[in-house]
Amino acid sequence: MNITVIGGGYVGLVTASCFAYLGHTVRIVEIDTGKADLINQGVPPIYEDKLEEILRQISGKNLSAQSHYEGIEDADIILICVGTPPQDDGSADLRYITGASESIGYALKGSTKYHVITVKSTVPPGTTESVVIPAVMKPLGDISDTVGFCMNPEFLREGRAIDDFLHPDRIVIGGTSQKAIEVVQKAYEKLDAPVITTSLKAAEMIKYTSNAFLATKISFSNEIGNICKKLGIDVYEVMKGVGYDHRINPYFLNAGLGFGGSCFPKDVMALIRLAERYGEEPVLLKSVIEVNEQQPGRIIQLLRTRIGDLKEKKIAVLGLAFKDNTDDVRDSRSIPVISELLEQGAIISAFDPMAADSMKKIFPSLSYYTNAGDALEGADACLVLTEWPEFSKLGSEFARMKNQVIIEGRKILSCSGIEGVCW
């Protein structure tokens, strides 16, 4: 099939690369010419495990990138993969969705081929019907027989996105017609996964609900962890026992600093604002956010209990990305921790295997190191904020600290003498 992907960011690039890997001919429309050039050279502008390897195989063959909409009229499917960042009140900003939809409509004007415009971006329920379809159809007029619309949400975990795309738990497709749904379903025919077909609104809501539920599991686990900490109980032992219940399962029960990244915080807040717009009071979802926002402060409280006043104390921070195996620091729990440390006058030495350059844009004045040992040199305390697997191998490096006060926000270390924020 011929597939056009609008947006060469995280979701767009992974989606386009995987569809090309499956044998489709894929074009990416990315307005940032620098990103488009890198993609055409087989160089990913983001870090994602296995992405560079796949790009080398397909770039210049059945994957190309451009910074304009010309030529997209040959596409069977046009996937909208642009950002929906939060507005000041937490609701979803749909300006990029609207802009992409309008551009698609003008680019398809005069085309007689059947196209399925498919939203992959995370959008509030009703967006495809109320925003995308009118924006696309305005320049096209009444040619409903040549255009179909679908919503096909993505469920990609950063750091594991390639595997998630190629081995999905499910494929969700909401559509305006069975014909449109079948076109999108055909694009996935090489993948072994159940296909769930729904209305457009239901497909949009499935994505929000999935993220909100996973975020709820995390905040619930953190609240239980905070109670366990007071009782002297290892919350990881508790959640191991809980997770064996098949009704619950063990995933997303790891207590710690809370959730971050580009999806959970913004999607839960967008769902809260959507509920409020319709007169509902989402008490549980608001509590999920509240627990998450309070959690980073607990590691600072614990640190002050252990070493007292933080002014002029050297604190080694290991882990800056919001999770392991990515360089993404969006809404990383390390950001409020570092902000509080700086406010209290601490001197910070930081190390992350991938995310140092990303964090330098937020905190340019920190001392960044290329290995954990150098970051730990002479430190009064160490905070481990990201669950990088290589941190589990640290041992003798901690001997370089002035005082071996080590507090984990994620349970990853294997050496002794460690205290956790929830355990």
| DSSP per-residue string spanning 146-162 | GEEEEE----PPTTSHH
Q: Of 263, 382, 415, 422, which is the active-site residue?
A: 263
Query: Is residue 205 a contact partner of residue 179, using CB atoms and an 8 Å limit?
Result: no
Q: Provide the 3-class DSSP secondary structure of residue 6.
A: strand
Q: What are phi and psi of 93, to 5 degrees?
A: -85, 115
The two tokens of residue 145 are 């027989």
Q: What are phi and psi of 83, to 5 degrees?
A: -75, 150
List the one residue out of 67, 72, 73, 55 whose CA is nearest residue 19. Answer: 55
Query: Which residues contact residue 305 at a Cβ distance below 8 angstroms, ignoring those fewer than 6 apart?
Result: none
Q: Is 263 a catalytic residue?
A: yes
In whole angstroms, give the CA distance from residue 168 to residue 159.
15
C-alpha Rg value of the chain to the nearest Å? 23
Polymer length of the chain:
423
In whole angstroms, give the CA distance from residue 85 to residue 104.
21
Supply the residues annotated as catalytic: 263
